[in-house]
Amino acid sequence: MNKPELISVEDLFKSPVRAGAAISPDGTRVAYLAPWQDRLNIWVASLDGDFGADARRVTADETRSILHFSWTDDPRWLLYLQDTGGDENWHIFRVDLDNPDTPAVDLTPFPGVMSAFELLPDKPGKALVYSNKRGPTQMDAYELDIASGDLTMVGENPGDVIGWLTSRRGDLFATKLNREGDLEVLQWDPRAQSLRSIAHYDGKDYTMGMYPMVVTPDGTGIWMGSNEGTDRTRLVRLDVADGKQYAVDSHPTFDVDTRAQVWPGLPEPLIQSRATGELLGVRYLGERQVIQALDPHFADVLAGLEKLSDGDIGALSSDIKGRKWIVSFNHDREPGVTFLYDHETGESRELYRPYPHLDPEQLAPMLPVTIPSRDGLDLPSYLTLPVGVPPENLPLVLVVHGGPWARDGWMYAPAVQLLANRGYAVLQVNFRGSAGYGKAFQKAAIGQFAGKMHDDLIDGVNWAVEQGYADPDRVAIFGGSYGGYATLVGVTFTPDVFAAAIDYVGISDLSNFMRTLPEIARPHLANNWHLFVGNPDDPEQLADMLARSPITKVDQIRTPLLVVQGANDVRVVQAESDNLVEALRDRGVEVEYMVKEDEGHGFVNPDNVIDMFNAVDRFLARHLGKRRNA
């Protein structure tokens, strides 16, 4: 086909017209996100007649887009989370649907405090709230009366609990990490006001995929991912009484899809009955998603849902009877198309497309490819080629995912589509250490920051050149968080490979990064960053970390560089970017630097996202070349 029309940054990155739909328990209404004052807010509409015709906006946040909300069992109340400028100190707000014009109520109005919640379906009107209002590392458990807002402590952190889990009826469990990173799962005894140990796991295996997921409805077990004794992460039931694991489900070649553990907002791996909490299905992820149904009725529902789209099933919600379902689909070119499906009648209808102005035929398909590493590992990757252009000798952008214990997958990515629309080939390499490819693949990254992890990225570039897709003189690297670190490694350790580089909230100094993490995140260091990279309190390990840190090699940078940072980032603090930019400017090296004062670890508000990607667009056009008909 001919080259597609140039798509503006604004059209690719503006807010969806609707997104995130979830059906009410009684199946009569849908809550969803839609723009107001250029910020995503919550709207509610009935499912009768023309969808959206009677929609009412029920929140009024002009400052920051809302991303996370939930129906409660009472049709009067909705709950949602919101932080301040990306600081990740989440507050829990209550919306009164009987009086939607009244302001939302902050149920956790504690400054500098992080809160989260789980509904308690078997205790109507209640939710369990996790909050560190007693101190930064003291995450306690409280029962919330949703209507009154009263909080009652039900589990006091003895000092080393890093997280809580609850059943539908309020059975309480906790997790601990020791200094070596070993994981302990415990049960809270409300009479003794103390914790009883259930199971203990070696930290090195816990890092590779062993983590608690969901308490079973009866409170006698915990469904969790486990790779104990295997390479792949499967689903097991940890028995509360005997502390043993019992097999529930597995896939012969895929891991349980754990992306939601790293990127909140992605679908949870377990699909459960809204009425009972029983397990209906499990999500696995390879090149594409596979859902395995564990319930015969849900298997029939799943078959009906899968007929609606050739995408992967994303967000999924049902009414309390399991009759009406709202489903959205992940797709590389038709993002988030959302349907209503009535399993009783077999009828379905499209509710909305989040980006109706985008023509899927003008967007570029994402192709799974496997790239061999120089030491024999298979690197699962994704290649996106511009539409209407011969796939030969193209400028290439290597896009590196964050984490690094995350992964790229088959999905719609507006940044990738922007690059492809501008005539660039886009390569996303799941380098060693990426999650979802087995324990051995992840362990292969231990000690390999700025080493074999980076070699994998360079092997990807070389593969694209050898296949004829990429022009070796026009290769850029672009990544966020760990991907930003990888970008900076690229321009310091292998500066001759890249013609341009974009560092988005990236780490420049591994030791400073670890030392400036929030206190609540520090217990997690032992079985990830300390295991894979080192402990900055050990002089020998510190020296190695500095040798792997781009800040110590800024004299090697000669690649044009764009740095983007959120001022409120609590994970990769602004000093990581400030120090790098200052060191470069002291040497007389030109570097573009964008800081947004109202953002954190990744931009949320549409105006900031659009501003950033307009800068990215200009920067790459200047250094890789514009599309010929642009």
* Active site amino acids: 481, 569, 601
Decide if 144 contacts 150 (C-beta within 8 A): yes
**CA 507 distance to own-chain centroid:** 18
Give strand pairing partners of 445: none
Q: Each residue of 590-623: b (16+ CB within 10 Å) or e?
A: ebbbbebebbbbbbbbbebbbbbbebbbebbbeb
- Cβ(476)–Cβ(491) under 8 Å? no
Amino acid identity of residue 500, one-letter, is A
| Cα–Cα distance for residue pair 314/164, rounded to 1 Å | 26
CA 492 to chain CA centroid, Å, is 28
Cα–Cα distance between 140 and 83 in angstroms, integer?
19
Residues 6+ apart with CB under 8 A from 548: 449, 450, 451, 489, 510, 533
- Residue 234: left (phi > 0), alpha (psi -120 to 50), or beta? beta
The length of the chain is: 630
Q: Are 492 and 514 in contact (CB under 8 A)?
A: no
| Residue reference for tokens 């994704």 | 382
- Our measurement of the distance from residue 242's CA atom to the centroid of its chain's CA atoms, rounded to an integer in Å, reads 34
Output the CA torsion 614→618→619→625 (10° steps): 140
For 482-526, give the DSSP string.
HHHHHHHHHHHHSTTT-SEEEEES--S-HHHHHHTS-GGGGGGGT
- Pairing of the two strands 592-596 and 221-226: unpaired
3-state DSSP call for residue 210? coil
